[in-house]
Amino acid sequence: MSVRTLPLVFINLGGEMLYILDQRLRAHNTSDSRVWSEGDRKRVLNDIVGTMFSKSFMDELLKPQQLYSHRTMKTVLTRLAHTSIMRLNPASMDRLYELMIMAFKYQVFLCPRPKDLLLISYNHMDSIRALVRDTPAVLNQVDETHRKVIEVYSTFSEGELQLLRQTLLIFFQDMHIRVSLFLKNQIQNPSGRFVLTTSGPVPSGVDVPGLIRTFDLRGREVSRSEFPPGGSFCGSVGEGSFELNGDRVVRLAQLSPSSRGDPDPNSPPNPLAKEELNLLARLMGSMKAENVPTGERRFRISLFSTDQEEAGASGGEQQDTIQVINIQAVQDGQAALALARIAGEFADEEAKLENPSSSKGDELLAMMDDL
Amino acid sequence: MFHKEKSIQIKNSASALYNNLSVLRIAPRRLTYFTVVHANVVNMVSASWDGLNYSHRQLQSKEPNVATSTSLIMQAAFCVLPSRDLLVVSSQKGIQMYESDGSIMVYWHALDTPEAPTEQAVFARGISAVSDNYICVGVSSGAVLVFDVPSKGSNITLSEVLEEHKEAITDIAAECSGSQERLASLVTADDGGNVCVWKSGEEFQLLNKIPGLDITCSSVKLWKGTVLAGYGNGQIRLYEAVTGILHAEVNAHARWIYSLDVAPFSGLLLSAAEDSFVRVWHLAMTPETNSVEIAHLHNECVTDTQICGAKFCDGDGYAFAVTGYDLSEIIRYVQS
């Protein structure tokens, strides 16, 4: 299958993760606790984006290779989040990963043409660019990466892009985690399957079904007839821009505040933001700094029982002004069941898809340790 | 015209791959075999005609003599030859041929895979039996491997490599009308929509090349000298194989077509796409003008499903079966 999936996977999953973090950190600024300042928020985002779009990280992703397993993917995304001053415990990361995956699955599944997978990725990049626009150095990195991605993928034929999409669909196969916002907006059924409408515009380059044309030996049209195609499709709305900037036309993965909660099933932007915010609110809302030191503020979620173990795990980072806040991930019933089921699914998946040569993902992880 | 029958449950869901359903009817034993690919596993179901007995088997794509490595499967298809039926499985690593019940592997051909991953993906895709003793399988480089299959035993050999396509092969089909006088015996299609027409023999001969317009031809059939091709832009086109003359063009689907099938005795055509529709058409030959006409007969919509496989269960097209991405069942329809 395709050996070029990783860059797009990270841009899209990473993009989803950044949507959540940005919105959550903004919301926190309006509360009384003032736990996260504007400067903190920007720093978190800049740190993560800076790592994700660093030349070495992207170069590693751009090497032709098979797609990672879910476990490896989750580990790398967690490490990515941890390049900032933010810390999340495994349970919260698990749930966040589920939501990110279902959002991306939705985008890939509904993607009108394989080529539009690139437009979806560019939508994510446009939003990321907006998040770091005040930091020229990081913005520059994003632009550079975007150019490189355009360069690599613009040579792909539609057939090759369809293979890439089919590879991603195997990665998402059998995942039917129900997301309450998707259910509410009726883009997901109670069974967990996404709604596929039989109405709306056809993709760019496709004709509305219903016409049969016959030709003579010289290639001249001799007759036309119509047949009832079912559904109610209409003409395409034109092609989006594949350049560094431009109207993407495809609205999947666009984050637009005004249309959040928009029940229109034909053009949902990123409806997941609200769901993800609520989860993060439950997880982080209980953070109250009691004696905030005047120096560097860092917040860790305790994963281990003693501080020595913590220090060892994080590679001996600076400890002087750290305030440790213990947070238990609030697991609602659905999340717990979903986690148990997914753990089972991943166990099966590992058995089937884990490459015995364990180098998959290891170089990337090793490189991140050096950062 | 058709109504839905009881579905057959399969052990895993179907993966989103072109032509992801193969059917073999075994009349003497009143059984039908179905195969559906899920990642690196082929799910086989044997269904008795009285609807009372179902038995399941799973085949994993594994190179022989290598304990743990597995690879993703691109396609599994039954190949019917006069003296034997084989199940051929094409994957990222190579091609395996089994007895039709999946019990014994009789042949393994490894693809040339380089040590380190290259820019292009490597895999085998597109499977068909041709004439009396050949099985052809396509490769991602565009090559078509021709295997010579003896009437029994495992002495299968690679007899020829056809190198005409420059893009990955998507599907391969042989003339299925049963008539011997047809010149064209094989048609091959690729990612760029190019379709090649061949005459089989000790050395296969290229008869014609129908250029694509960079629109993938994902599924192809050859019936009474007519190429029936399904494309990524939802169109079905009918060409005269040897001359390349376009007979008809249908704006058939709103999304990528994943599967076409022909019922050779009745001239029924089945098309299925990611838009969740399966359509039944009728093909009529007009010998005077040597042309083919296509008429629409019937639609079925499989709600919320991107269809990846659709096949007639018999030569008359009395029944057909459908698979969809993420669906763990084979849906069946029968003429009313």
Give A138 to chain B, closest Cα distance, Å.
29
Does A257 touch chain B if contact means CB atoms closer than 8 Å? no
| pLDDT recorded at residue A30 | 53
Closest alpha carbon within chain A to B307: A196
Q: Does A163 reach chain B within 8 Å, measured CB to CB? A: yes
C-beta contacts of A256-265 below 8 A and 24+ residues apart: A261/A185, A262/A185, A263/A185, A263/A186, A265/A185, A265/A186, A265/A187, A265/A195, A265/A197
Q: Pick from B117, B301, B306: which is nearest to A3 by CB? A: B117
* pLDDT at position A57: 85
pLDDT at A279: 52
pLDDT value for A143? 92
Around Cβ B215, how many Cβ atoms within 10 Å? Answer: 20
Which residue, among B187, B194, B244, B246, has the nearest Cα to B215 in the 3D structure?
B194
A151 and B CB contact within 8 Å: no
Contact yes or no for B253/B307 (Cβ under 8 A): no
Q: pLDDT tens for residues A125-174?
A: 998 998 888 899 999 999 999 999 999 998 899 999 999 999 999 999 99
B191 and A193 in contact by Cβ < 8 A? Answer: no
Spell out which residues of chain A touch residue B13, defining contact as CB-CB under 8 Å: 173-174
The pLDDT score that the predictor gives to residue A244 is 73
Helix (H) or strand (E) run with residue A211 in it? strand A211-215
- Could you give the dihedral angle defined by the CA atoms of residues B320, B323, B328 and B332, in that order, rounded to the nearest 10 degrees? -10
pLDDT of residue A90: 79
Report CB contact under 8 Å: A162, B275: no
Q: Which of B117, B276, B277 comes nearest A64 by C-beta?
A: B117
What is the pLDDT, as a whole number, of residue A83? 76
**pLDDT given at position A318:** 33
pTM flag (> 0.95)? no
Low-confidence ranges of chain B (pLDDT < 50): 67-68
Q: Do A213 and B249 touch (CB under 8 A)?
A: yes
Q: In terms of CA atoms, which chain A residue is nearest residue B73?
A: A1
Question: HEC string of chain B?
Answer: CEEECCCEECCCCECCCCCCCEEEEEHHHCEEEEEEEECCEEEEEEEECCCCCEEEEEEECCCCCCCCCCCCEEEEEEEECCCCEEEEEEECCEEEEEECCCCCEEEEEECCCCCCCCCCCCCEEEEEEECCCEEEEEECCCEEEEEECCCCCCCCEEEEEEECCCCCEEEEEEECCCCCCCCCCEEEEECCCCEEEEECCCCCEEEEEECCCCCCEEEEEEECCEEEEEECCCEEEEEECCCCCEEEEEECCCCCEEEEEEECCCCEEEEEECCCEEEEEEEEEECCCCEEEEEEEEEEECCCCCEEEEEECCCCCCEEEEEEECCCEEEEEEEC
Say how far apart CA B62 and CA B69 lie, in whole Å.
6
Interface test with B, best of A217, A223, A232, A355 (most B CBs within 10 A): A217
In chain A, residues with a C-beta closer than 8 Å to the C-beta of B256 are 113-114, 162
Mind telling me how many Å the CA of A205 is from chain B's nearest CA?
Answer: 7
pLDDT tens readout for residues A36-51: 678 878 888 888 898 8
The pLDDT, as a whole number, for residue B107 is: 94
- Write down the pLDDT at residue A296: 37
pLDDT tens per residue, range B327-336: 999 999 999 8
For residue B39, give the chain A residue with the closest CA. Answer: A170
Domains of chain B: 2-111+122-335 (2.130.10.10)
Whether residues A213 and B248 touch (CB distance < 8 A) is answered with yes
Q: What is the percent of chain A with per-residue pLDDT over 70, rounded to a whole number?
A: 64
Contact at CB, A170 and B291, closer than 8 angstroms:
no
Between B21 and A342, residue with greater pLDDT: B21
**Given this model, what pLDDT does residue A316 score?**
31
Residue A255 has pLDDT above 50, yes or no: yes
Instruction: Compare B42 and A323 and report the one with higher pLDDT.
Output: B42
The pLDDT-based confidence of A35 (bands split at 50, 70, 90) is low
Q: Is B141 left (phi over 0), alpha (psi -120 to 50) or beta?
A: alpha
At A234 the three-state DSSP class reads strand
> What tokens does A359 get?
């180098």
Closest approach of A232 to chain B, Cα-based (Å): 10
Rounded to 10 degrees, what is the CA torsion of A348, A160, B217, B242? -120
**Amino acid identity, position B281:** W
Read off the DSSP letter of residue A194: B
Tens-place pLDDT, residues A256-289: 433 233 233 343 345 455 555 555 444 444 333 2
* Contact call for A159 and B254, based on CB within 8 A: no
Does the distance separating the beta carbons of A356 and B68 come in below 8 Å? yes
User: Is pLDDT above 50 for A353?
Assistant: no
